[in-house]
A and B are shown apart, each in its own frame.
Chain A
């Protein structure tokens, strides 16, 4: 890789050990993907829950965090993805003190880097939405696909170590989606029916993601007649990234790089696959049957927007959950503060539900929580969550928010 004088100084260790490690780490990754050089980035976002960090990952952070301040401070605004613990509620969720202690160590390390603990996977709705053409080093696949697709920003999936390296150096290797040639559509889908609920938008994302199936494919979608809002895009993108490792999609006439089909592909050279009603029906049919007991209803992955919190409060007004069913609503600290100020949290929790902030259900030792609370049958409107949570020993059921709430009240799938 071609290095400028500043990058060479970092590699030589002149700017301290953390930046030396960071530039060397990114050179290894850059060489793997044939990056010619580095590209400067304006924001970094780190995914580093303690379940995946483990003791070894936390010690890695702590070693670097113990170095002099001038060496360890990040050079660009850097924020965090959801944590694994909501310190106000972890005992009620039957998470352990050992989990909370490891979490606190990770937080202390992040803060010593100058990283802002935003604890959110909806930073594009709540913190600082990127602008078109902005180069970023974002973690969380849902964040990356939204910022690339809906906002026209440029980011690869940056795992925790690479996001930290980008924060320390203000740059990332120029490969993948930082290059315009990799943003052209390679797969084309024509949708024959219109999504209605957020869960339908998620299902569309899941269907497209599963078919495209690779980080190196870019789907373009035609046939959508309505204009999806931010929450619709959020659910669709998160599901697409989860089912297919896909980091970018184009929606013809909607997303900024695809005002027309011709702007992202040669339509004569790229045949369209159809996604119709029967594909959606088959997608929903794989998850659970009416009448089965529901242990827990979870709204999470991605965290709820303020508008989703309002919808949930309206659905729960005057209602009580079934005594054998829990309901968790997971949101960001920013949204939680607003929702609390506006009385939404109180309305949601009056039903017996619990509002959690700054965490994400599946990044929070979901297996241990499930075993400790007797949660097996999980119902959600998040297609992303249904895709992931089976691996943690749950049986997921997918439906829209209205049906999920009705099922939490009935104690069984309605």
Chain B
């Protein structure tokens, strides 16, 4: 059992733990998801067909329009949402959306490309207030 700590910019939302689902692709709540089923639906997305429910999601950056600011709140209200979303760099829209939804979100990692540092299946704890992400892997 190994534990790795990553430091990042101060984020938003509560402390959460869960299983990581990682891609070097980007993220749009509006265009990439089947928000009813809780899966990635856009065929070209690298996570197409996979479930994001209760996962610690890791992406490169955020895409898409301002609508996403409402969508994390809507997804969380139905309990079909990720626990946290981590980015290399996020745009204001998604950060605003996480602030409304009170969903954990962090970006700007000091140790390099977060899509390489975290692997799918890792156990991850996100502490946005401290700007700290802890990885546990076997």
Contacts and interface: CB of A to CB of B under 8 A. Distances in A.
Interface of A: 25, 28-29, 31-33, 47-49, 51-57, 60, 139-141, 156-162, 175-176, 214-216, 241-242, 245, 363, 388, 391
Contact of A57 (B63, B70, B96): B70
B89 A29 contact: no
A56 B73 contact: yes
Interface size class of B (residues with CB under 8 A): 20 to 34
A185 B93 CA distance: 22
Given A53-B74, A57-B73, A32 B97 contact: no
B75 to A, nearest CB: 8
Which of B12, B70, B74, B93 has the most CB atoms of chain A within a 10 A radius of its CB? B70
A56 to B, nearest CB: 3
Given A56-B73, A57-B70, A159-B69, A29 B91 contact: no
A54 B77 contact: yes
B9 interface: yes
A49 B65 CA distance: 12
A60 B69 contact: no
Contacts of A159: 66-70, 92-93, 96-97
A54 B66 CA distance: 15
15 contacts: A31-B12, A49-B67, A53-B70, A54-B77, A56-B73, A57-B73, A157-B66, A157-B93, A158-B92, A158-B96, A159-B66, A159-B68, A215-B92, A242-B65, A245-B63
B71 interface: yes
A25 B100 contact: yes
Nearest to A26: B99
Contact of A160 (B31, B63, B69): B69
A176 to B, nearest CB: 6
A33 B92 CA distance: 8
Contacts of B93: 157, 159
Nearest to A177: B92
B10 interface: yes
Nearest to B45: A391
Contact of A56 (B11, B42, B67, B77): B77
Contacts of A29: 12, 92, 95-96, 99
Interface of B: 9-12, 30-32, 42, 61-71, 73-74, 77-78, 89, 91-93, 95-97, 99-100, 105
A94 B122 CA distance: 46
Contacts, number: 111
A229 to B, nearest CB: 24
Contact of B69 (A28, A32, A161): A161
Given A32-B9, A157-B66, A215-B91, A52 B100 contact: no
Interface residues of B: mostly helix, strand, loop or mixed? mixed
Nearest to B33: A391
B66 A214 contact: no
Contact of A140 (B62, B66, B73): B66
A203 B109 CA distance: 34
Contact of B91 (A31, A60, A245, A388): A245
A141 B64 CA distance: 9
A28 B104 CA distance: 12
B67 A32 contact: no
A225 to B, nearest CB: 31
B42 A391 contact: yes
Contacts of A54: 70-71, 74, 77
A216 B90 CA distance: 9
A47 B93 CA distance: 11
A31 B11 CA distance: 8
A385 to B, nearest CB: 12
Nearest to B41: A391
B95 A60 contact: no
Contacts of A52: 30, 67-68, 70-71, 74
Contacts of A141: 65-66
Contacts of A363: 67
A147 to B, nearest CB: 14
A29 to B, nearest CB: 5
